[in-house]
Amino acid sequence: MKKTKEDFLVTTAQSKSVTGKKLKNFMNYMKRYWTLYLLLIPPVAYFIIFKYIPMTYIQIAFKKYSIVQSPWEMPWADNHGFEFFIKAFSNRDFRLALRNTIMLNFLDLAVGFPAPIILAILLNELPYPRFKRFTQTVAYMPHFLSWIIISGMALQLFAPTTGLVNIVLTRMGLEPIPFLNDPAHWVWTYVFLGVWQSVGWNAIIYLAAITGINPELYEAASIDGAGRFRKIWHITLPGLRPTIITLLILSLGRILGSEFDRPYALSNNMVKDVSNVISTYVYAYGIKGLQFSLTTAVGIFQSVVCVIFLFAANALAKKFGERGIW
């Protein structure tokens, strides 16, 4: 059946009416929530200007960097552009930094990840609110200290001859411990200081998750005769499981990432074999050595591996029936 001219005009008028109604609804929506979108402009602009636009320069990892040429004018590197990736993996310092980064991050994960969970549960079990608030404040205050300050405190406490801890050990008739000079002791000192600095701040997330657990579950468990440890095991930990899984996925995504200030501030020449990580390697070869193509290639490798770990951890969590981060 052919449409007449009148039917076509009616259809056109209806579509215009629907479009006009949608536009009116959109304008009303923007008029109501325009302040929220205005507040969204600064963070979006920050990410575009300082995160996405600089990403156009990652192409120098595949080119021979020249300070007098733009990235689009630079000649391509040898070996089909992978010259600097091959150089990185042929470099002993990079392989050492890669090993140290993985080792230190795994130790941080193994020791530092359960610590805030345990602290949050202990704080939640404290019966005195004032003491609980005081302990929580003391626990998360180190988070606001820079690693320069923490390294100075570590030097005052753990120096081989003048450190407070070794002075006490010597007066007790024990041998001083080279916390900062021996590679094995330095690794555990590094991990301990990292846990001490972050455990209180990370515990806040778990305390917030604990407040979301239904209090009636604890009351019912008490009526049934469950003790404190039973309630922690069967109520608190299952209630924390979604939060634990989410934070574990994010932690695994940073397994090849490395902060700069912590290893740089705590490092010294006697422990370079274990303290040199990817971030300090990039600083030494990129900033000081001006090998920008090489260090950009290292950064791309680091980012790709972190993304792979993130996706793998998220897929594994979903496979076991947990909610992922997307």
Tens digit of each residue's pLDDT (9 = 90 or more) over 165-215: 999 999 998 888 999 999 999 999 999 999 999 999 899 999 999 988 888
Name the DSSP class of 159.
Answer: -
pLDDT in tens, 274-302: 999 999 999 998 888 888 898 899 989 98
Q: Reply yes or no on whether the pLDDT at 10 is more than 50.
A: yes
Domains of the chain by residue range? 83-319
* CA separation for the pair 61, 71 (Å, rounded): 10
For the four alpha carbons of 110, 112, 115 and 116, in that order, the dihedral sign comes to negative
Burial zone of 113 (CB within 10 Å; 0-12 exposed, 13-18 middle, 19+ buried): middle
SS3 assignment, position 57 = helix
Provide the angle, in degrees to the nearest 10, between the axes of the packed helices 237-253 and 292-319: 150
pTM: 0.83
The residue type found at 205 is: I
pLDDT in tens, 102-121: 999 999 999 999 999 999 99
* CA separation for the pair 183, 272 (Å, rounded): 8
The top-level CATH class assigned to 83-319 is mainly alpha
* CA separation for the pair 205, 116 (Å, rounded): 9
